[in-house]
Structure 1
Amino acid sequence: MIFKAIKQQQQMVIKLSVSNMPVSEKFYTEKLGFKVQSDYTINNGGTFEKDSYVQLLHDAMDTIAIGLFKDIDKPLEPEETGTAPTFMVSDIIKTREHLIAEGIEVSEIVENTSDKGYIDHFAFFSDPDNNTLAIRQNMN
């Protein structure tokens, strides 16, 4: 069963499509604080052409990595993205303000209430290739 095998794994990688590896890498490292896991870099001769890959890890999330994969020629149209890796934060207001100070356009904070009354706050932003990302704070 696949779920038994998953329990034995030490990390999950979320793959995101990118069109310009240096621009994307700079966004994730300089604006979001990720670090390159150089053991997993594939830069196809130093030019980061198609099928290049950079894996990123954040000190706050050592079991989840972001894998930037150059498999598109231009940024996605915003409506083409359905996946939204979500970063759990303890203070969504300060985190949102920090992202805005980094020059990132961030949505207003929206509220969700589950069927059992649990309240979460979300705000959404995009990387240079229009991959949707989110920040979330559990309010209960």
Structure 2
Amino acid sequence: MNTIALWTATIVATLIFIAGSYERLFRIPKWFENPPHSFGLINQQTKNSSKFWIPLQISFLLSFITTLITNWTLPAVRLYLLFTLASFLLVAIPTATYFVREILAFAKMSADTPATPELLKRSKTWLTWTTSRNLLQLISLLTLIMALKALYK
């Protein structure tokens, strides 16, 4: 069971990293191409995105909790899982408290909202900091891969 759980968490983390990187490279730049005019794209894509991201995140969370429980007695594996947990929390907490709130605020803006320096700074900040989420997703994936490697030693 511990091996299956760890493989499942690793596969789901891989999907999260690939999908997150794809969004960051190809979708999100279009959202911020010409704020606030381009913010209309956010509304079009976030409804479909939530149908994808919410189940994927729940799948990761369930498989990771199972992995943590079933591998807790293996010190070498546990260490990597704790690093994965830290990375996951460093993504989840800011996403819930900042990124989602801001992207929903951007999505609600009409195209004729003035592109004030404050708005441009907010959008640039969001765009810059969202890249850190992709890096942390990569760290989570790599630490899960290292946990798999430790499991097979």
- TM tier, smaller: under 0.3
- Pick the structure with more strand per residue: 1
- Pick the structure with more helix per residue: 2
Answer with 1 or 2: which has the greater Rg: 2
Indicate the structure whose relative CO is greater, using CA pairs within 8 Å and at least 6 residues apart: 2
Structure-1-length-normalised TM-score: 0.25
